[in-house]
Chain A
Amino acid sequence: MTQQLQDRPALSEKVITFPDAIPGFPAARRFLLRDLDEQGTFQLLESLDTEGLSLVVCVPWIFFPDYAPEIDDDLQRELAITSAADAIVFCSVTAEADELYLNLLGPFVVNATTRQGRQVVQGDAAAPVRAPVPLAG
């Protein structure tokens, strides 16, 4: 029996570029992704431009399997994404009072090949900016 773990793209070696930076940090265009755990579930998105700017990120479907971020035609065209396989999507994790939250309102969408992306503010408030992630125990 073989059960292959999905190979995650080797992002940690390559710079990811957000040409329009990210909301709140207008100088932060270039980032590295570093795995935080062996399975590659969580990464640290580290800014190469703004000192001290690092965000814990993860693939949102681990905790929210029904999450459906809008990746519209304009975004697909802008990032040259022609299929779901071209796109890497991750959301930032925030800690407050020993709880963890995912930002589902502003997912990061990156073209897996070009490594260019954008943090996409969703069009309406249906996706929470702080979606609680259950902690064990």
Chain B
Amino acid sequence: MLVLTRRTGESIHIGDDVVVTVLDVRNDQVRIGIQAPRSVKVHREELLRQVGEDNAAAAASSERAAALLGRLASPPPRSAGRDRPGR
């Protein structure tokens, strides 16, 4: 990992198209600004990781999930013919 030290207001260029700027530092929180083309996706690491892990868990449990579908609270039954609203 490349480690750099920056002060508030200073920036880092990554590749040709990405600029990361330290906007604000308060206690242990750093506000970071990112300029990147639309094609470059930017995510909070922990959220990306959670989705990846959940995909793995969903894949591992897909047979069990399919089996449990029959136990879901089903939508209300359609009316059997009485009290039909006007056509």
Partner-B contacts on A (CB < 8 A): 1-3, 20, 22-25, 36-37, 42, 44, 52-56, 74, 77-78, 92-96, 98, 100, 103, 105-106, 119, 121-125, 129-130, 133-137
Determine if B7 is an interface residue (Cβ-Cβ < 8 Å).
no
Query: Interface readout for B56-80 with A: 1 if CB under 8 Å, 0 if not?
Result: 1111011011111101111000100
| In the complex with contacts A77-B38, A133-B72, A103-B65 CB distance below 8 A | no
Q: Assess whether A96 is in contact with B57, with CB atoms less than 8 Å apart.
A: yes
Determine if B31 is an interface residue (Cβ-Cβ < 8 Å).
no
Chain A residues near B66: list those with CB within 8 A.
36, 42, 44, 56
Determine if B53 is an interface residue (Cβ-Cβ < 8 Å).
yes
Q: Assess whether B50 is in contact with A129, with CB atoms less than 8 Å apart.
A: yes
Partner-A contacts on B (CB < 8 A): 38-39, 41, 43-44, 47-59, 61-62, 64-69, 71-74, 78, 84-87
Which residue on chain B has the smallest CB distance to residue A93?
Answer: B65
Q: Assess whether B71 is in contact with A44, with CB atoms less than 8 Å apart.
A: no
Q: Assess whether A135 is in contact with B73, with CB atoms less than 8 Å apart.
A: yes
Q: Assess whether B43 is in contact with A121, with CB atoms less than 8 Å apart.
A: yes
Chain B residues near A25: list those with CB within 8 A.
52, 55-56, 59
Q: Assess whether A106 is in contact with B51, with CB atoms less than 8 Å apart.
A: yes
Which residue on chain A has the smallest CB distance to residue B49?
Answer: A23
A137 to B73, CA, bound (A): 8
> Min CB distance, B39 to chain A, in Å?
8
Jot down 9 A-B pairs with beta carbons below 8 A, ordered by A: A37-B69, A54-B59, A55-B55, A92-B58, A103-B51, A122-B47, A123-B44, A124-B44, A133-B72
Q: Assess whether B69 is in contact with A24, with CB atoms less than 8 Å apart.
A: no
CB within 8 A of A103: which of B58, B69, B86, B87? B58
| In the complex with contacts A1-B84, A2-B87, A44-B62, A74-B54 CB distance below 8 A | no
